[in-house]
Amino acid sequence: MTISKRSITGSILGTAVGDALGLPYEGLSRRRAKRVFGQPDRHRFVLGHGMVSDDTEHTCIVAQALIASGADADAFSQQLARRLRLWLLSLPAGIGLATLKSTLRLCVGVSPQRSGVFSAGNGPAMRSAIIGAALNNPALLKQFVRSSTRITHTDPKAEYGALAVALAARLASGPSAVGIPQYVGELRKLLDDEPADEFFELVDRVAESLACGESTDTFAASLGLERGVTGYVYHTVPVALHAWLKNQHDFRSAVTDVIRCGGDTDTTAAIVGGIVGCAVGKEGIPSEWLTRLCEWPRTVTWMEDLAGRLFETRINDVTARPPRLPVYGIVPRNLAFMAIVLVHAFRRLLPPY
């Protein structure tokens, strides 16, 4: 399977669009989300436009680290660590506790091999689709996902979930739909030396649910997630895989289906968007969802440039300087984003309940 610029671009932009669409619904039960915001069919974060959260920021950081490190996993860890330190200093909003602790450890000089904390949160999974889109060697993919995971999360569960997302993105980049047995078989080969029985039980439940024609929200409810998908990777990833496998070439349905499940909607939609984006490319993402992304300095144009440079370095097996962001723009953007988040937090105190 060859590396495709179309898939890399689709993965980055798909992550951003899913993240932005799901963000207003984050933390709400499926019932309350529907009552407050209605269907997730358009951007609702700020005046009909969307903004991205740490899910997209981490995806872009990983892409930059991949550009600068080539096929060297140790260099990738160092590049990722440096960018995570800078990211934390830019005052991002809504950081997961494990990511905050580990990034603070990086900032005080702990090495990326020892900075992670024991957690099975979904941070590594949210940034791993781009690794699958950019790497076509299974051994290298596993090595880079491990580096990306352990820099913040050391629970093996976090790594299994991140690998499952990266593999999904890798297979989705191919020319045809991915068969469920194909995906499960490839995942078992990737994790053949890992004690991942509990995870494979969940993957088998995904396959059984799809065979029965269940909707993604029905499947989520069968896992006890009636009020929403949590940030636990063994909740997040199976639901995201279900939405992807059910809607492999329908970006709109895949993203809206997973947002309707409630809970950690920006992350679940970012993961699904990053996978399905590999299959459909930029042209398969609804144009109104792209044009109404209200983002600067991480504009759609900047993300496309990032994808192009990542493709060039991977296809030519070289390293390069990744596109930079204007430092003067990041902190003001993050402060404005935080203010809008606070407005949303106040809005949630009001009816309808």
Short-list 83, 7, 119, 58, CA closest to 266: 58
pLDDT at residue 99 above 90? yes
pLDDT at residue 262 above 90? yes
What is the per-residue pLDDT for 32?
A: 94
**Model confidence pLDDT, tens digit, residues 176-214:** 999 999 999 999 999 998 999 999 999 999 999 999 999
CB 42 within 8 A of CB 291: no
CA 31 to chain centre: 24
Domains of the chain: 5-347 (1.10.4080.10)
CA 294 to chain centre: 19
Q: What is the pLDDT confidence band of residue 353, given thresholds at 50, 70 and 90?
A: confident
pLDDT at residue 230 above 80? yes
**Backbone phi, then psi, for 113, in 5-degree steps?**
-75, -15
pLDDT at residue 327 above 90? no
Q: What is the mean pLDDT of residues 309-319?
A: 94
What is the per-residue pLDDT for 196?
A: 95
CB 132 within 8 A of CB 170: yes
Supply the mean pLDDT for the chain.
96
Q: What is the mean pLDDT of residues 76-99?
A: 95
CB 163 within 8 A of CB 189: no
**Model confidence pLDDT, tens digit, residues 57-81:** 999 999 999 999 998 999 999 999 9
Q: What is the mean pLDDT of residues 146-164?
A: 98
**Model confidence pLDDT, tens digit, residues 274-292:** 999 999 999 999 999 999 9
**Backbone phi, then psi, for 37, in 5-degree steps?**
-115, -15
DSSP per-residue letters across 299-312: -HHHHHHHHHHHHH
pLDDT at residue 130 above 90? yes
What is the per-residue pLDDT for 51?
A: 98
Burial of 316 per CB tally in 10 Å (0-12, 13-18, 19+): exposed
Amino acid at 3: I
Q: Which residue has the higher pLDDT, 72 or 327?
A: 72
Rounded percentage of the chain residues whose pLDDT exceeds 90: 94
What is the per-residue pLDDT for 82?
A: 97
What is the per-residue pLDDT for 94?
A: 83
Residues 6+ apart with CB under 8 A from 314: 3, 66, 134, 135
- Give the integer Cα–Cα distance in Å for 80 and 326: 18
Cα 241-246-250 angle, rounded to 5 deg: 105
Report field, pTM of the whole predicted structure over 0.95: yes
- Give the integer Cα–Cα distance in Å for 352 and 111: 48
Q: What is the pLDDT confidence band of residue 295, given thresholds at 50, 70 and 90?
A: very high
What is the per-residue pLDDT for 2?
A: 82
CA distances from 195 to 62, 124, 140, 158, 199 (A): 27, 19, 20, 13, 9
What is the per-residue pLDDT for 337?
A: 97
- Give the integer Cα–Cα distance in Å for 298 and 244: 26
